[in-house]
Amino acid sequence: MGGAVSAGEDNDELIDNLKEAQYIRTELVEQAFRAIDRADYYLEEFKENAYKDLAWKHGNIHLSAPCIYSEVMEALDLQPGLSFLNLGSGTGYLSSMVGLILGPFGVNHGVELHSDVIEYAKQKLDFFIRTSDSFDKFDFCEPSFVTGNCLEISPDCSQYDRVYCGAGVQKEHEEYMKSLLKVGGILVMPLEEKPCHSESGKSRLVQLPPLAVRSLQDLARIAIRGTIKKVIRQETVSSGGNGLKNTPRAKRRRVRRRRMETIVFLDKEVFASRISSPSDDNSCEDLEEEQREEDRAPPPDAKPARPVNFLREKVLSLPLPDPLKYYLLYYREK
């Protein structure tokens, strides 16, 4: 499925197209989509198709089309602190975007049938945590993945605020899916499709991860990082910057104004004259401004400057022992 919007040259342009087509409608969802590059979840040899609005499958690895994920994210109505269960979690792409919205006090669990896909998802999650600047721009709820059949979850598991099932669910399993949901929660799933089956054919109850309580040390790290982010935002706002906010890319539309020729009729005689419009007075200035912008624009093959990770720079500048600095940075590589 997919093909609802035009392909993009990069992740930002794909999100622009999803917004224009009204698949992405809220700021939280837009920020999450921009923060994680879809291409990072593709195998290297298939990355050229990452920004097309198409599903991708290779062996057991599967990604739904961007228009599907954006509709799911909007339908879930995610908020910080909620609990989320992803049935058929796959590569972890959706779970990671959800984690950016849930924040450090949410719950983010995934169940995936294929063990090799679980390993792939863990690799991609580790790569995101170690290398992406978005990890420092957001308060992240790290997803936990378990292997198993989503129709065989232990009956004593906790219920969730939000549940998404990417695999097709037959009508007879609808009540089972609803039983995983808290009162007032939201369930998003496709109905009337072929259900999934376990690889071995044997029934085995899936034990979901426990709802762990964060340690005092971890809570202190979250609080310190939050305080530093507030300081950075205050400093950048006062200096006219945008701080840690992941600003959507703006596309400037150039408008060229036409010169207006006006003919005035006076009784039976024709009095031809050019009457200037207000825009004519600025037409030369507009052209000059456009020319200046083109002169300032970098050449097409020039690489854009890497964005600054303000949180990392601020932490590394603190008068603290190096082990404590690295702990505050979650021992990330960059």
Give DSSP secondary structure letters for 119-154.
HHHHHHHHHHHHH-THHHHS-----EEEES-TT-B-
Residue 273 designated active-site: no
Q: Which of 6, 64, 238, 283 is catalytic?
A: 64
DSSP-assigned beta bridge partners for residue 170: none
Q: How far apart are CA 99 and CA 279, in angstroms?
A: 49
Instruction: Report the Cα 118 to chain-centroid distance in Å.
Output: 20
Give the residue from 44, 45, 33 showing the smallest Cα distance to 5: 33
CA nearest neighbour of 208 among 95, 303, 108, 328: 108
Report d(CA 297, CA 273) in Å as an integer: 40
Owner of token pair 């910057």: 241
Burial class (CB in 10 A: 0-12, 13-18, 19+), 36: buried
The H or E element that residue 42 is part of is: none
- CA 129 to centroid of chain Cα atoms: 14
Helix, strand, coil percentages, rounded to 5, for the chain: 40, 15, 45
Where along the chain do its domains lie? 11-194+201-212, 213-237+308-333
CB 209 within 8 Å of CB 147: no
Per-residue pLDDT, 261: 45
- Picking from 231, 248, 250, 247, the residue whose alpha carbon sits closest to that of residue 239 is 231
52: number of Cβ within 10 Å: 18
What pLDDT shows up at residue 168? 73
Fold of 11-194+201-212: Rossmann fold (3.40.50)
Give the number of other CB atoms < 10 A from CB of residue 316: 14
Type of residue at 53: D
**Long-range CB contact pairs, 5-14, < 8 A, 24+:** 5/53, 5/66, 5/67, 6/53, 7/51, 7/52, 7/53, 8/51, 9/51, 10/51, 11/37, 11/38, 11/39, 11/50, 11/51, 12/248, 12/249, 13/51, 13/249, 14/38, 14/51, 14/53, 14/66
Q: Please, what is the angle between helix 11-20 and helix 66-76, to 10°?
A: 60
Phi first, then psi: what are they for 182, rounded to 5°? -70, 160
For every one of its 334 residues, what pLDDT tens digit does the chain have, with 9 covering 90 and above? 556 677 889 999 999 999 999 999 999 999 999 999 999 999 999 999 999 999 999 999 999 999 999 999 999 999 999 999 999 999 999 999 999 999 999 999 999 999 999 999 999 999 999 888 888 889 999 999 999 999 899 888 899 999 999 877 788 888 999 999 999 999 998 876 554 443 444 557 888 888 878 889 989 999 999 899 899 888 888 877 655 555 445 444 433 444 444 444 445 454 444 444 444 455 556 556 666 666 655 565 555 566 778 888 888 888 989 889 888 888 776 5
The residue length of the chain stands at: 334
- Amino acid 192: pLDDT: 67
d(CA 291, CA 13): 25
- Pull the structure tokens for residue 19: 């917004």
